[in-house]
Amino acid sequence: MTKKKVHIISIQETYLESISKQVKEVLGDKITIQSTTLKDLQSNTVKPGEIVLLSHDKIKGIVSQLIPKDCSCFVAKRDINFANTKELLNLPSGQKILVVNDTKLNTNETVESLRETIFEHQYIPYSPDEPIPDSVDYIVTPGERDLLPSSLPNVIDIGSRLLNLETFVTLLSYLEMEEYNSSMLRRYVKSLISQSTPNQKAEQTEKVSISKDIRNIAQYTFEDIVAVSKLMKETLEQARGLANIDHPIFIQGEDGTGKNMLAQALHNESNHADRPFISINCLSRDVDIIEKELFGFEDGGSISIGFLELAKDGTICIEGVDDFPLPLQVRLLSAIQKKSFYRLGGSRPIPFKARLITTSTKDMKELALKGKFHNELCYLLTSFLIYMPPLCERKEDFIPLIEDIKARLKRPDLTFSDEVMGIFINYEWSGNIKDLYNVISYLSALAEPIISLQSLPLSMRSSEKSEGFDTFIQSKMNAEEIIKKIEAHGFLEESIEILLAFEEGKKNREAYGRLKIKQTLEKQEIYLSEQQLRMRIEVLRELGLLIVRQGRAGSTISSKGEDFLRYISLENANEVIS
């Protein structure tokens, strides 16, 4: 009997891996599972008759335009992983607990789950727009530890939320397998325990069967790559010039810069375009799995064909080649040089005709010099190198990239406030275009005419991870220390007035110079010489309360300075002075 196929679709790759692993642990012997991120979803990705499981209801509108009409499609529901809550359960009753998640919606959902189940405590949803109660006993976060300052005490990480039991009951209904409910319950508990380590990523070394359903998956061409900046235009010009050579090509660039997209474009521009394009990622993969997937294997009368063989005279792309296991580097070098290889356990040479493209985030030549990569293989792979620049080096492409993503998501009407665009442009985007795509995908699913600051994920609403938590830290740890350092110079009242003046300037979107501050202070009957003012501003800068810029750029209050003003009112400061 043919197994029914369940197609899981999510925005975030890490979460997709986690819930796909969970579904496999519960129903892996009953169904076939395929996982796709929203950015990789095309009109032909999902096949007619498949059951589609969505990670969030906000992406349903986008997905519905790209899947066959006869597909059953429903939205998963999430809940906290109670296998991770032992520390929380062991707390004395009545604790005041702040709950922190990446968005307001997710925070509220987590609070609701905790209130319903571990009802012995008081749970407060964190909002960046409101002050944090100074009487909080603990902070709980479902796998978003990176949002919190490393120095923050009493943090309990209960791990990422997973699919809840109701989701599996619904899935069984779509599969017409309701009789399996009792067994499924035991497996569901097992799936929670399996992922009970906080922030644990889905295992990537899991033994998997090698797929025989290999097809040309090169969907992108050079026309799909946004290139307005001079740097990207030069990169694509170089890539086009290398498209038709049969020598291995190496693409270097940070995570999320579009290396695999460029590899697909190279394939589609070449004379291999009508042949297979196969991509394999080596990052954190078990050596035995990679060897079997690439070279294939023979076991008695059983033969499994590897990717190098399935690619025929098409293109094979090895992503994260810097993580390619040392024992296999010699095998790959031999396959390239001899244009043939042996299956694992085989005795007959297999022709190797495919063009090879490799990618990495690291400098391969440096790895070779350190003895971490085979020197001869490194030279062979990197002779033709293409560098994919990070987003910070191609600012001219930023707005066109956003417009391109909106078009791909079929949301050309999506509008962002000036404040949001300012945050976008100045955000570091450590994950480059992949991060940008994920954020725009999330925002495009919101039913809002204009995306405002409050709609952004928490991690983007500040320039530092600790912003929004400084009040809590200072009230618990070092507010008194800051006051003492200011008082050591004898001008606490003046310093507070200086901070208030800079805060007013920030509200008016103005960066103030010393002259403006001096004039503002004089209105408060505080008269300082140029040298005195300069000294006070320097102390506040050293304490991190001011951001001081030279020239016309002016200076402004920092987020830490704003939190400090919220912590100590001018009246309280006067009491300290008196």
Give domain limits for the chain.
5-76+165-196, 82-163, 222-387, 392-462, 468-576
Pick the CATH number of 392-462 from 3.40.640.10, 3.40.50.150, 1.10.8.60, 3.40.50.720: 1.10.8.60
Q: In 3D, which of 49, 166, 50, 159 has the Cα closest to residue 110?
A: 159
- Show Cβ contacts of residue 289 under 8 Å, excluding neighbours closer than 6 positions: 205, 207, 208
78-108 residue pLDDT tens: 999 988 998 898 888 989 998 988 778 888 8
Pick the CATH number of 222-387 from 3.10.450.50, 3.20.20.140, 3.40.50.300, 3.40.640.10: 3.40.50.300
113-137 residue pLDDT tens: 999 999 999 999 987 666 666 678 8
Helix (H) or strand (E) holding 84: none
CATH number of 468-576: 1.10.10.10
CATH class as words, domain 5-76+165-196: alpha beta
132-184 residue pLDDT tens: 666 788 889 998 877 776 656 788 999 889 999 999 999 999 998 887 777 88
Sign of CA dihedral 413, 106, 123, 453: negative
5-76+165-196 and 222-387 agree in CATH topology: yes
Q: What are phi and psi of 101, to 5 degrees?
A: -135, 180
The first and second tokens of residue 90, run together, are: 């062991």
366-407 residue pLDDT tens: 999 999 999 999 999 999 999 999 998 998 999 999 999 998
309-337 residue pLDDT tens: 888 889 999 999 998 888 889 999 999 99
pLDDT at 214 over 80: no
Q: What are residue 74's DSSP bridge partners?
A: 53
Q: 415-416 and 450-451 as β-strands: parallel, antiparallel, unpaired?
A: parallel
pLDDT at 199 over 50: no
Instruction: Tell me the HSE value of 178 on the side-chain side, using a 13 A CA sphere.
Output: 4
**DSSP structure string for 335-367:** HHHHSEEE-BT--SEEE---EEEEEESS-HHHH
Of 508 and 471, the structure prediction assigns the larger pLDDT to 508
Instruction: Tell me the HSE value of 199 on the side-chain side, using a 13 A CA sphere.
Output: 9
Q: 355-360 and 277-281 as β-strands: parallel, antiparallel, unpaired?
A: unpaired
The Cα 158–Cα 81 span in angstroms is 7
Q: In 3D, which of 232, 542, 538 has the Cα closest to residue 393?
A: 232
What are the start-end ranges of the H helices in 243-325? 259-269, 287-295, 307-310
The Cα 471–Cα 456 span in angstroms is 21
Give the confidence band of 561 by pLDDT, cuts at 50, 70, 90: confident
Helix (H) or strand (E) holding 10: strand 4-10
